[in-house]
Structure 1
Amino acid sequence: MYERIKQQMMDTLPLVRTLGIRIDEIGSGTAKVSMPDDPKLHNHLGTPHAGALFTLAETASGAAMAGGFAELILGLRPVAKESRIQYQKVAKGATRAEGRVPGDLDALKAELKQQGKVAFPVEVDIFDAAGTLAAQVQVDWYLSEKRS
């Protein structure tokens, strides 16, 4: 199921492909994604642009969210409601992001089943090529059942 989610995301997110972002791993409420070091993605300092880093983090958050709801995701309408990013250090080189749903997935699924919708945060850490924590991101997701 996780491979299908990876493929679906890559097929439907052209900006992610344009930036060279790869979804390396999806698990139950977790994800790891990576972005190459490409001069086309650099800022005026010659380091990864903040917008590219944000897209990397948002992709990791979406993959973690989808992985957490893998068996239900095709019947859901996910929307990123709000995002916050805190830059820690200048990222250098290739970057990777690790996303995780910090809450109790079973409780979130129960709320979804009972209410037909659920909102929750996904936390993401962005690391550079040296393993330095470059940024921390929180994306608040809202899931609702698809209407026919």
Structure 2
Amino acid sequence: MTVDTSWVGAAMGQTVPWVKSVGITFGETTAERAVAHLPDAADLHNHVGGPHAAMIFGLGETASGAVGLAAFGTVMERATPLVVRSEIGYVRLAKGPLTAVAVLDRPAADVLAELDAGTRPEFTVTVTITDADDRETTRMTVVWTLRPNR
């Protein structure tokens, strides 16, 4: 059974105002993988003419949130997704528009089983960010939790 996740990009733009502010758009978004794009804009640049590190981090974190929303959107009434920690590595100077690909590192069903068992599960999303020439510029891991609502 395929779950419709076409709503995720619009939901991210509505619930996270920063996403619209910097112009992030979404490509493929599934419960396993999300693709997000950051346009090249001078007002987002750093001192070397590329996207500021804050923009790069934000793009990656946003892509990780999109895959999390796609995977766990059906349990939002009983759990809130929150970032626990993240790590970022800048591989090469980023220039121009960027694309982030976020991949859920384990099956959503396993995470939901932990939530159903009464624990506060954690899940990792791996993010790769590339430039317009498809060269890797950044690697990230974002660890999320599903905090049960009270």
Q: TM-score range by the shorter chain?
A: over 0.9
SS at match of 1:130: coil
Q: Which runs of 5+ in 2 are unaligned?
A: none
SS at match of 1:78: strand
- 1:38-57 correspondence to structure 2 within 5 Å: 38-57=41-60
Distance 1:16 1:117 in 2: 27
Q: TM-score, normalised by structure 2?
A: 0.91
Distance 2:126 2:39 in 1: 22
* Matched pairs, number: 147
Q: TM-score, normalised by structure 1?
A: 0.92
Task: Say which of 73, 88, 112 aligns to 2:76.
Answer: 73
Once superposed, what is the RMSD of the aligned Cα atoms?
1.4
How far did residue 3 of structure 1 move? 2.6
How far did residue 28 of structure 1 move? 1.4
Q: Deviations over 1:77-128 (max 9, x none)?
A: 1111111100001112100100011112221111111124211111100001
Distance 1:3 1:69 in 2: 14
1:13 corresponds to which letter in structure 2? Answer: V
Cα pair 1:91 1:132 within 8 Å, conserved: no
Q: Which runs of 5+ in 1 are unaligned?
A: none
Query: 1:74–1:23: structure 2 CA closer, same or farther, 3 Å change rule?
Result: farther
Distance 2:76 2:130 in 1: 28
1:139 corresponds to which letter in structure 2? Answer: V
SS at match of 1:82: strand
Task: Say which of 110, 131, 149 aligns to 1:107.
Answer: 110
